[in-house]
């Protein structure tokens, strides 16, 4: 069964002024759409055709580079759209808020660690907040379209928050100013969605 490009859960301009509508339109339609189509081409007529994306990713070391790049791209962007929203600044609350405090020594310490992971990822990739295999919250980053669900990831687990630091995610508005993009990403995080991912991952 073919994977479908999911609709954005908001308008292209909903994350303005932090992420511009033109970037969102191209990023969703062309980039995420491209990964989805190429993933479908790569799995068509193979035994992967009826597997879930999570199962494909957890056995990624046994699949082709096309499945790795496009399967990662398909999954990562689906997560990325869902953990953002327009509107005011929001902090993690409840169990997630408390666990971030306890794990990282405060929200600011977490933000610094996550931002550093995103800023220092050389070239293209992602920064993650994930639940690792021991159930602990961890920050990591991966190259290209890899992610923590992949069996070949350095830090394995279930991602609950991800930031795309490919230039296609920010270049139109920010050019080479990746740190400014990272700072502004924190103004559009949907912490309710991240908390929901956290309770499912645990
Ligand atoms: Mn992207």
Running along the chain, 202 residues long, what does each successive block of 10 average in pLDDT?
94 98 98 98 95 98 98 98 87 96 98 98 97 97 98 98 98 98 97 97 94
The Å distance, Cα 47 to ligand 1 centre, comes to: 27
Distance 133 CA to ligand 1 centre (A): 26
Tokens matching residue 142: 């991966």
**pLDDT, tens digit (0-9, with 9 covering 90-100), for 14-50:** 999 999 999 999 999 999 999 999 999 999 999 999 9
CA of 122 to the centre of ligand 1 (A): 15
Q: Are 23 and 169 in contact (CB under 8 A)?
A: yes
Cβ(178)–Cβ(119) below 8 Å? yes
To 10 degrees, the CA torsion angle through 64, 65, 66, 68?
A: 90
**CA–CA dist 76, 164 (Å, integer):** 8
This prediction's pTM: 0.97
């Amino acid at each position: 069964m073919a994977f479908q490009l999911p609709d954005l859960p908001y308008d292209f301009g909903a994350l303005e002024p932090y992420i511009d509508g033109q970037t969102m339109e191209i990023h969703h339609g062309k980039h995420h759409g491209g990964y989805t189509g190429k993933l479908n081409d790569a799995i068509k007529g193979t035994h992967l055709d009826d597997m879930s994306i999570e199962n494909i990713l957890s056995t990624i070391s046994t699949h082709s580079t096309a499945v790795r790049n496009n399967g990662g791209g398909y999954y990562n962007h689906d997560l990325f759209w869902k953990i953002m929203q327009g509107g005011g600044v929001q902090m993690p609350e409840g169990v997630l808020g408390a666990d971030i405090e306890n794990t990282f020594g405060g929200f600011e310490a977490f933000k610094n660690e996550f931002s550093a992971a995103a800023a220092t990822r050389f070239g293209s990739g992602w920064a993650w907040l994930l639940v690792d295999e021991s159930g602990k919250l961890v920050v990591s980053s991966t190259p290209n379209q890899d992610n923590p669900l992949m069996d070949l990831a350095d830090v394995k687990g279930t991602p609950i928050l991800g930031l795309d630091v490919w230039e296609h995610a920010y270049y139109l508005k920010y050019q080479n100013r990746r740190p400014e993009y990272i700072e502004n990403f924190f103004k559009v995080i949907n912490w309710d969605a991240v908390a929901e991912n956290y309770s499912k991952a645990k």
